[in-house]
Amino acid sequence: MLSRIAATATSRASAARLVPKVRRIRATFATTRAFSTSGLRLAKSDDPNETFRFELPENTYESVKIDTPSHVVHLTRKEVLDIYESMNEVRRLEMGADGLYKAKLIRGFCHLCTGQEAVPIGVESAITKADAVITAYRCHGFTHTRGATNVSILAELMGRRDGISRGMGGSMHMFAPNFFGGNGIVGAQVPLGAGLAFAQKYKKEAAVTFALYGDGASNQGQVFESFNMAKLWNLPIIFVCENNKYGMGTSASRSSANTEYFKRGDYIPGIKVNGMDVLAVREASRFARQYAIDGHGPLLLEFATYRYGGHSMSDPGTTYRTREEIQHMRSTSDPITGLKHRILEQNIADEATLKKIDKEARARVDEALQIAKASTEPDTEMLWKGIYAEGSEPEFLRGREPEEVHYFKE
């Protein structure tokens, strides 16, 4: 269950500043993206289709060459609780991965998105399964929201055959339907995202691509080349810079002459969004998707967010920033706590219901951990699979040594 963040007077006051004015209205409309609320018990008088109006703070957005998205968000009770549940589950998933790494059950690279949960959950709640998503290597949250199971993610991290890439991809190479990774080369996913958007336009699909990269990749030449091609061909792509303020151990101000990443598109309109507010991320993503669907071409979003841990599990994350800075962000801007305050203040659900959601999310991840640990490692024969399309294999393939030869056809 998600650990309760200390409810000091300061943190309550800070969180309260994040909570916009809300008034309830009655309406029923279809959810854009349904996350499971398994076994959720609401009070008899609580209608899951009751709609709430959220007014976002004035400083939620900043834009260039385009109007900002709406500061008013409408969500049903079920939608709000689904988002809350999904953020809790992703955080529990990352906490589980943290424990596995420290127990030396995960080897190699492992990049966690703890603190940045509003981005994958907010984006996913605004798009459809037909839309494509491609991101860098901090990808576990998106892998989960795109439909991968907890078991498949955790098993992949441990290199087990029940992993989503059969244990041969690891932390940085996870894929799901219309989720194209998980990419380990800095910035390489951005031109790939432009290619996905080109395919969508070529096939006349009513879909868009969200191509995400970090502030650390923002100075890559291939990012700007992708901007140019996307605008030239008017591709339905949303370029998203997840600005968590540090590229590995280097602050944005030390690596970038211009840290206003949403303005870097030049001929592409840009919007900066409070990436610690899941409702703001959702509304901005919904706005951006519709902009591209309507044929206006690419749009650049910058989500101002923050990671609580280091760049990867091998980075303590405290040599280039202070513990006080991290604690300040946790206590004033945590995306889960912020949404929880909104839920309680507007009587969308009570404390007992939220605790139940937390407890169930923890139980699901704990169960997945045990199943993933029991999974076996892939056998050596699997190393020869997935190299060629079935039926197109050559007679043989050389291995690591001259005498190691695999024959596809006996």
What residues contact 172, with CB distance under 8 A and at least 6 apart?
A: 109, 111, 137, 139, 181, 182, 183, 184
Structural domains in the chain?
9-378 (3.40.50.970), 384-410 (no CATH)
Give the Cα-Cα-Cα angle 290, 286, 258 (nearest 5 degrees). Answer: 95
Report the pLDDT value the prediction gives residue 45, as an integer from 0 to 100. Answer: 53
301 beta partners: 240, 271
What residues contact 144, with CB distance under 8 A and at least 6 apart?
A: 86, 89, 90, 93, 120, 150, 153
DSSP per-residue letters across 120-169? HHHHHTTS-TTSEEE--S--HHHHHHTT--HHHHHHHHTT-TTSTTTTSS
211 beta partners: 134, 239
Report the pLDDT value the prediction gives residue 245, as an integer from 0 to 100. Answer: 95
Report the pLDDT value the prediction gives residue 27, as an integer from 0 to 100. Answer: 34
Q: Please name which of 121, 154, 177, 59 lies closest in space to residue 365, comparing C-alpha atoms.
A: 154
Give Cα 260 to chain centroid, integer Å.
21
CA distance 371 to 215: 36
Per-residue pLDDT tens digits of the chain, which is 410 residues long: 334 333 443 444 343 434 444 444 333 323 333 333 333 444 445 899 999 999 999 999 999 999 999 999 999 999 999 999 999 999 999 999 999 999 999 998 999 999 999 999 999 999 999 999 999 999 999 999 999 999 999 999 999 999 999 999 999 999 999 999 999 999 999 999 999 999 999 999 999 999 999 999 999 999 999 999 999 999 999 999 999 999 999 999 999 999 999 999 999 999 999 999 999 999 999 999 999 999 999 999 999 999 999 999 989 999 999 999 999 999 999 999 999 999 999 999 999 999 999 999 999 999 999 999 999 999 988 888 888 998 899 999 998 888 899 998 76
CA distance 191 to 173: 17
Helices (H), 24-126: 77-102, 118-124
CA distance 182 to 170: 10
Q: Is the pTM of this model over 0.85?
A: yes
DSSP 8-state assignment for residue 77:
H
25 beta partners: 51
CA distance 85 to 220: 36
CA distance 90 to 332: 20
What residues contact 88, with CB distance under 8 A and at least 6 apart?
A: 2, 336, 357, 358, 361
Burial of residue 401 (CB within 10 Å: 0-12, 13-18, 19+) is exposed
Report the pLDDT value the prediction gives residue 345, as an integer from 0 to 100. Answer: 95
Report the pLDDT value the prediction gives residue 19, as an integer from 0 to 100. Answer: 40
Report the pLDDT value the prediction gives residue 380, as an integer from 0 to 100. Answer: 85
Residue with tokens 């494509």: 132
